[in-house]
Amino acid sequence: MKRIKHSKVKNTGIIFELLVRQVASDTMNNKDSKALRVIKKHFKTNSELAQELKLYRTISQEKFLTESKASKFLEAVLRSRRQLNESQLRRDKYNLIKDLKNTYILEDFFKSRILNYKVHASTYKLFEFAEADNPADYVSSKFALIEHIQTKPLKSKEEPKLSSQHKDVRILASKLVVDKFNEKYSKLNTRQKRMLREYINNVTNTTELKKYILSETTKLQSDITSLKTSISSKVIRIKLTEVSNLLNKLATQHSIQDKDVLTMLRYYELVNELKNVGTK
């Protein structure tokens, strides 16, 4: 019997995590993101790859307090995985890897440290297990996942935290991590960080992203209106009125684009600067 070999290049969970990191890096550096195009092309809502990704993320995120519940949950996920169209999934994954090879140097793309690597690897081994494989590997991977799932969940008010004490800014979005940003990005304010989390978490769900941005444009307009009264310069007040008008246009757009996220980040910075001026 042969051992189950893990392949990062074929691991849907790892591929998606690395693509999301690249999207965040491209966005922060104001670059056209090839990674975002890859995600939108290959992870469409009803694709087999998107369905498998959901299963990877479910295993990574869900928590149960007892081994029995964790085991039953894992069995349910494995049943869902067996229901996927295996031949279509293989074709989709082949085309995804082909695009990655044409876009990046694979060795460089996959050399980043992966959060929860063991969880991703164990999930892959269970998903790819065949009758000719060593059952001992299957059992080992299964219990590694049960141990991961059987963990006390975070309290409802807790959120993944963004560290300001290190040069790396870690953006945690549904267990997806953006590592090793430049030092200047550690100075992002709370609202900018939250916007980036929403952007990354909903990179394939533009409806939810648009909903979040709409709510934020309303808050920004309210902030600007309130802060404008403390500005003595008539020129600056006129400019702030123009910003409010631009926010109105953003709120009525049919779709949200990458540049709109950058625009929101800049407006957050503007509001932050106005508040600082007001306190001096």
pLDDT score recorded for residue 175:
32
pLDDT, average across residues 214-221: 89
Identify the DSSP state of 47: S
Selection from 79-88, 201-210, 213-222 with the highest mean pLDDT: 79-88
pLDDT score recorded for residue 202:
67
* Strand partners for 177: 172
**Cα 140 from chain centroid (whole Å):** 29
At 163, the pLDDT band (50, 70, 90 cuts) reads very low
pLDDT score recorded for residue 203:
59
Identify the DSSP state of 272: H
Query: CA nearest 213: which of 170, 183, 257, 158?
Result: 257
At 182, the pLDDT band (50, 70, 90 cuts) reads very low
pTM: 0.60
Is 149 exposed, middle or buried, given 0-12, 13-18 or 19+ CB atoms closer than 10 A? buried
pLDDT tens-place string over residues 253-275: 777 777 788 888 888 888 888 87
At 173, the pLDDT band (50, 70, 90 cuts) reads very low
Q: Are 43 and 204 in contact (CB under 8 A)?
A: yes
Average pLDDT value over all residues in the chain: 79
pLDDT tens-place string over residues 119-146: 999 999 999 887 657 788 889 999 999 9
Cα distance between residue 39 and residue 100, in whole Å? 11
Cα distance between residue 133 and residue 128, in whole Å? 9
Structure tokens at 48: 């087999």
pLDDT score recorded for residue 278:
56
pLDDT score recorded for residue 274:
80
pLDDT score recorded for residue 180:
35
Could you tell me what percent of the chain has a pLDDT over 70? 80
pLDDT score recorded for residue 14:
93
At 5, the pLDDT band (50, 70, 90 cuts) reads confident
pLDDT score recorded for residue 204:
54
Cα distance between residue 113 and residue 12, in whole Å? 16
Strand runs (DSSP E) across 78-206, as ranges? 171-173, 176-178
| Distance (Å) of CA 97 to CA 13, 34, 132 | 13, 14, 25
At 230, the pLDDT band (50, 70, 90 cuts) reads confident
Q: How many CB atoms lie within 10 A of CB 76?
A: 11
